[in-house]
Amino acid sequence: MGLIVVSNREPYSPVREGDGELHWKAAVGGLTAALDPVLRERGGTWIAWGDGEREIRSVELPPGEERYRLERLHLRESELQDYYYGFSNRALWPLSHYFLNRVRYLGRYWRAYQRVNRRFAEAVVRAYRPGDLIWVHDYQLCLVPSLVREALPEARIGFFWHIPWPSSEVFRTLPWDREILEGILGANVVGVHVLEYARHFRSCCRIVLGYDNDGRVVRISQREVQVEALPIGIEAQTFVELSQTPEVRRAAGELRQQVGTPFLLGVDRLDYTKGILERLEAFGEYLGRYPEAQGRVTLVQIAVPSREQVDAYRQLREQIERLVGRINGTYGQAGWTPVHYITRGLDRLELVAYYLAADVMLVTPLRDGLNLVAKEFAAVSEQGVLILSEFAGAAAEMHEALLVNPYDHDGLVRAIGQALSMPLAERRQRLECLKARLRRFDLTTWAKAFLHALEENR
């Protein structure tokens, strides 16, 4: 049985190096990081927006391994502006993360979203062979399930929503709330990361569309749609193995030497949902309150720029840069820079070396569908402490982390102190529990559970 995966973002981006040669570079972001290994294992077709190199319509991936085929859909600049930067990232993204002050609900965005979703659906129908499983991902493609259902009434269609599903009070501010829900309900099985999101989704179906729920099922006149809370996992074993290689251990040792003090680490896409400013402010406050910490602890913040054509993201980047400058200017000394700020995307090896070298990992989003960084750190770290926002979906299963409310400035400052002074035995014990769960519910378990639900659905 074939698998067709559909997402907006492609797993690898084509990059021309100085020599003009084409390379495929892994994209930064939770969804593609998670799905690439699934398709590597099962094979199949991945349909996504082809960002750049327009003449390449189709390519075998991953580079050098050729395990699955990527079909690349090219979008016109105006489509990209209104569908991706517009409806996806100025309407649905802030709405779902409870940032109502940032939403822009424009008719122009909505029309482009409908058009582009139709193009994705047509590509699915072209690729489909009877018996295939179709798995559509995320908020950029909500209309694809129902559009595919119209063309292929018998197809098995799964839909996974990777970000938070907001409460109906918030969701109903969207002028196209009915259409988005009806679009998703074209699927047989709808997945979200956390029980609370599943509850919100079902109550939106009831309040907005009048559809009854029965346990995990939403009843529509002719059909039933199964709603599953399935938190995504990571390839825990692969991360552990990588962290044990001599290259990574050497790189981690070098990092510790270069930073020169114990360090706190942040790794995020540069996004206003991630709480990067709040985290920096808390670190600055910690240095101010505890002068003895000055020169003795460092924050390494890695923040890869993202969606830079949206004002909110550009403004945030400037705010972060100003704040880093202020903290470094206020507390820096010869031989010690309080905040190391890096905007590069790292390769896997480097990323794992940072996780391994860090004393404390700060994952403090204001809201996050799940957050893979928290899981990756816990899989790799041998004696570090994870500080985790209670508003990240991952908090529902990572109780042994130091859970914080990122809006609580003092609480965050206290958590930094607590993490830095936590006894070794306690750090190890907390990590052991986290690791055991990561091994049990890894990426393969997640993908299998979802695809099993889809295959079994009648």
Q: Which positions are annotated as active-site residues?
A: 162, 368
List helix spans (H) across 7-48.
Answer: 30-42
Distance, in Å, from the CA atom of 5 to the CA atom of 172, rounded to the nearest integer, reads 29
Distance, in Å, from the CA atom of 365 to the CA atom of 388, rounded to the nearest integer, reads 8
Q: Which stretch binds ligand ADP (CB under 6 A): 67-75, 117-125, 212-220, 371-379?
A: 371-379
The residue behind tokens 């079909």 is 71
Question: CA 373, 377, 381: angle at the middle one, nearest 5?
Answer: 175
**Residue 376 contacts ligand ADP per CB under 6 A:** yes
Q: Which of residues 13-42 bind ligand G6P (CB under 6 A)?
A: 29-31
Among 162, 200, 427, 435, binds ligand G6P (CB under 6 A): 162
Closest CA to 106 of 76, 82, 138: 82
Q: How far is the CB of 435 from ligand G6P (least distance, A)?
A: 23
Closest to ligand G6P by CB, 95 vs 356, is 95
For residue 298, the cross-strand partners are 263
**Residue 367 contacts ligand ADP per CB under 6 A:** no
Distance, in Å, from the CA atom of 37 to the CA atom of 49, rounded to the nearest integer, reads 19
The residue behind tokens 């991706």 is 84
Q: With residue 45 as reference, give the H or E element that holds it.
A: strand 45-49
Q: Which stretch binds ligand ADP (CB under 6 A): 26-34, 87-95, 400-408, 431-439?
A: 26-34
Q: How far is the CB of 26 from ligand G6P (least distance, A)?
A: 12
**Residue 62 contacts ligand ADP per CB under 6 A:** no
Q: How far is the CB of 25 from ligand ADP (least distance, A)?
A: 10
Helix (H, G, I), strand (E, B) or coil at 10: coil
Distance, in Å, from the CA atom of 55 to the CA atom of 387, rounded to the nearest integer, reads 45
For residue 449, report the phi and psi dihedrals to the nearest 5 degrees. Answer: -60, -45
Helix (H, G, I), strand (E, B) or coil at 232: coil
Q: How far is the CB of 399 from ligand G6P (least distance, A)?
A: 24
Closest CA to 314 of 266, 272, 367: 272
Distance, in Å, from the CA atom of 270 to the CA atom of 276, rounded to the nearest integer, reads 8
From ligand ADP, ligand G6P, none, interface partner of 346 (C-beta below 5 to 8 A by class)? ligand ADP
Instruction: Write the interaction track for ligand G6P spanning residues 69-88; mark x where CB under 6 A is met and - where it is not.
Output: --------------------
**Residue 305 contacts ligand G6P per CB under 6 A:** no
From ligand ADP, ligand G6P, none, interface partner of 138 (C-beta below 5 to 8 A by class)? ligand G6P
Q: With residue 304 as reference, give the H or E element that holds it.
A: strand 298-304
Closest to ligand ADP by CB, 109 vs 377, is 377
From ligand ADP, ligand G6P, none, interface partner of 307 (C-beta below 5 to 8 A by class)? ligand G6P
**Residue 138 contacts ligand G6P per CB under 6 A:** yes
Q: How far is the CB of 10 from ligand G6P (least distance, A)?
A: 9
Closest to ligand G6P by CB, 317 vs 340, is 317
**Residue 163 contacts ligand G6P per CB under 6 A:** yes
The residue behind tokens 């029980």 is 195
CA–CA distance from 375 to each of 303, 370, 427 (Å)?
18, 9, 16
Closest CA to 276 of 193, 346, 341, 355: 341
Among 9, 193, 279, 367, binds ligand G6P (CB under 6 A): 9
The DSSP bridge pattern shows strands 68-73 and 45-49 to be: parallel
Closest CA to 266 of 333, 346, 325: 346
From ligand ADP, ligand G6P, none, interface partner of 235 (C-beta below 5 to 8 A by class)? none
Distance, in Å, from the CA atom of 337 to the CA atom of 298, rounded to the nearest integer, reads 7
**Residue 345 contacts ligand ADP per CB under 6 A:** yes
**Residue 378 contacts ligand ADP per CB under 6 A:** no
Instruction: Write the interaction track for ligand ADP spanning residues 283-302; mark x where CB under 6 A is met and - where it is not.
Output: -------------------x
Closest to ligand ADP by CB, 33 vs 251, is 33
Task: Give the interface size with ligand G6P as a residue count (CB under 6 A).
Answer: 9
Distance, in Å, from the CA atom of 49 to the CA atom of 314, rounded to the nearest integer, reads 23
Instruction: Write the interaction track for ligand ADP spanning residues 27-56; mark x where CB under 6 A is met and - where it is not.
Output: -xxx--x-----------------------
Q: How far is the CB of 29 from ligand G6P (least distance, A)?
A: 3
Closest to ligand ADP by CB, 90 vs 202, is 90
List helix spans (H) across 172-304.
Answer: 177-184, 195-209, 236-243, 246-259, 276-289
CA–CA distance from 352 to each of 17, 327, 358 (Å)?
25, 27, 10
From ligand G6P, ligand ADP, none, interface partner of 332 (C-beta below 5 to 8 A by class)? none
Question: Cα 230 from chain centroid?
Answer: 15
Closest to ligand G6P by CB, 194 vs 293, is 194
Query: Which residues lie near ligand G6P (CB under 6 A)?
Result: 9, 29-31, 138, 162-163, 306-307
Query: Which residues lie near ligand ADP (CB under 6 A)?
Result: 28-30, 33, 267, 269, 302, 304, 345-346, 351, 370-373, 376
